């Protein structure tokens, strides 16, 4: 499982021109899965994301959590996180989980996030072509693998 986390001041995702998910301050999570990923990995990742202290405190140090700043989460599925470009000019996506494996893992990830925090969790639409817009705050971007 791979997550690209961006700390944002705002973000939204559109499908066919319609906004399906949007947040203000919080995390935009681009999420990809492999066929060998498990529910335990999904739960670990949800807990890791929620507990990260990457918002600035009054001293300017990354010391505050998402809950401390009353932030929200926008989760967007992105199989291209497992694109392999080492050979040739076209990415290979053989490491990315097929939809029948990735969909339930994605749904569980969102459910874990919703169950473990009081703030809002918005999503894109799994398997759809999406337009994602964001304002990266910092910029702060982390790649988390599990």
> What is the set of domains in the chain, with CATH numbers?
2-139 (3.50.80.10)
Q: Would you call 65 a catalytic residue per the annotation?
A: no
Q: In the predicted model, is pLDDT for residue 51 greater than 90?
A: yes
Catalytic residue among 38, 70, 80, 141: 80
Is 27 assigned a catalytic role? no
Length of the chain: 146
- 109 in catalytic set: no
Cα separation, 125 vs 46, in Å, equals 19
% of the chain residues with pLDDT over 70 = 100
What pLDDT does residue 118 have? 75
79, 109, 112, 123: the active-site residue = 79
Task: For residues 47 and 39, give the distance between their C-alpha atoms in angstroms, rounded to a whole number.
Answer: 12
Do 76 and 126 meet the contact criterion of CB atoms below 8 Å apart?
no
**Residue 20, Cβ density class (10 Å: 0-12 exposed, 13-18 middle, ≥19 buried):** middle
Provide the 8-state DSSP code for 126.
T
- Residue 117 confidence (pLDDT): 82
Query: Which pLDDT belongs to residue 77?
Result: 97
Q: Which of 34, 78, 109, 112 is catalytic?
A: 78
Is the predicted pLDDT of residue 53 greater than 80, yes or no?
yes
């Amino acid at each position: 499982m791979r997550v690209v986390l961006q700390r944002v001041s705002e973000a939204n995702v559109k499908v066919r021109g319609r906004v399906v998910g949007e947040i203000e301050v919080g995390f935009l999570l681009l999420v990809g899965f492999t066929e060998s990923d498990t529910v335990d990995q999904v739960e670990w990742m949800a807990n890791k994301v929620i507990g990260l202290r990457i918002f600035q405190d009054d001293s300017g140090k990354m010391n505050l959590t998402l809950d401390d700043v009353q932030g929200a989460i926008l989760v967007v599925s992105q199989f291209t996180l497992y694109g392999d470009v080492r050979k040739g000019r076209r990415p290979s996506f053989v490491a990315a989980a097929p939809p029948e494996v990735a969909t339930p893992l994605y749904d569980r990830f969102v459910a874990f996030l919703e169950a473990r925090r009081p703030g809002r969790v918005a999503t894109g639409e799994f398997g759809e072509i999406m337009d994602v817009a964001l304002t990266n705050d910092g910029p702060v971007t982390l790649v988390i693998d599990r």
